[in-house]
């Protein structure tokens, strides 16, 4: 499959201890790292993975696994604390992402409301626009709400040269195109990503932040 853009991965504690020098040598240029989940959970490998990226010249960003029935204010606070702990810099690091894949039996309207409040709260605090990670089917299940002010990190595993983009987005910032990648320095499978080289950074986020 021909996929343009730079090579990226996303990781959590499920990947265990990562040898980031080998990951960098294998051609990975950016990584999205799990920081937190819900109101209380922090990924035990977040700080180590962040430092590993920094020490090996890999651009990195954090992601938070969103739970719609947990308090969005507490979720925002938890992610911000994680970002502060690794000295997140909104001008040089990749913007954080909100991982949308668990309904927790909430209605679509409840989910959309809580997600909107979380994103707006987070954006005010971190001084850059967070991304949304989602699959086309999940977003369609929410009724395709308009969150186009937030860049899209699309999860779509396909043999096509471009991912399926859920309406009303017209494009994507990052494409997670495989969940079964093999990268030197990581034991087992890892998600593979590519950035979209055609994205105009200033059109989707604060002008001072340059992705990639």
The domain that holds 109 is classified in CATH as: 3.20.20.80
Tens-binned pLDDT, residue by residue, of the chain (212 aa)? 334 469 999 999 999 999 999 999 999 999 999 999 999 999 999 999 999 999 999 999 999 999 999 999 999 999 999 999 999 999 999 999 999 999 999 999 999 999 999 999 999 999 899 999 999 999 999 999 999 999 999 999 999 999 999 999 999 999 999 999 999 999 999 999 999 977 643 334 333 334 44
Strand partners, 11: 33
**Is 140 among the domain residues?**
yes
**Is 2 among the domain residues?**
no
- The whole-number pLDDT of residue 54 equals 97
Positions annotated as catalytic residues are 10, 101
The tally of domains found in the chain comes to 1
Q: How remote is the C-alpha of 183 from its chain's centroid? A: 19
Residues 6+ apart with CB under 8 A from 212: 6, 29, 30, 59, 94, 195
**Is 210 among the domain residues?**
no
Instruction: Identify the residue whose tokens are 């977003």.
Output: 139
- The whole-number pLDDT of residue 199 equals 64
**Is 198 among the domain residues?**
yes
Q: In which domain, by residue range, is 168 found?
A: 7-204
Cα atoms in the 13 Å half-sphere on the side-chain side of 2 = 1
**Is 35 among the domain residues?**
yes
**Is 143 among the domain residues?**
yes
Helices (H), 26-131: 46-55, 72-85, 108-126
**Is 188 among the domain residues?**
yes
DSSP characters for 130-195?
PEEEE-HHHHHHTT----TTS-EEEE---SSSS----TT----SEEEEEEEE--TTSSS-EEEEEE
């Amino acid at each position: 499959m021909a996929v343009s853009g730079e090579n990226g991965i996303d990781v959590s504690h499920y990947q265990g201890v990562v040898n980031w020098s080998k990951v960098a040598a294998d051609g990975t240029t950016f990584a999205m790292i799990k920081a937190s989940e819900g109101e209380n959970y922090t990924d035990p490998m977040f700080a180590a993975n962040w430092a590993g990226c920094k020490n090996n010249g890999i651009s990195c960003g954090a992601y938070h696994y969103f739970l719609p029935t947990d308090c969005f204010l507490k979720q925002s606070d938890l992610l911000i604390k994680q970002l502060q702990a690794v000295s997140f810099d909104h001008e040089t690091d990749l913007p954080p992402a909100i991982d949308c894949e668990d309904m927790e039996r909430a209605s679509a309207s409840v989910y959309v409301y809580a997600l909107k409040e979380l994103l707006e709260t987070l954006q005010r605090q971190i001084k850059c626009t967070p991304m949304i990670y989602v699959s086309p089917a999940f977003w369609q299940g929410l009724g395709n709400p308009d969150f186009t002010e937030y860049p899209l990190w699309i999860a779509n595993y396909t043999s096509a040269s471009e991912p399926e983009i859920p309406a009303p987005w017209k494009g994507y910032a990052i494409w997670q195109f495989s969940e079964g990648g093999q990268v030197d320095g990581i034991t087992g499978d890892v998600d593979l990503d590519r950035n979209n080289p055609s994205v105009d950074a200033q059109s989707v986020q604060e002008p001072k932040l340059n992705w990639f």
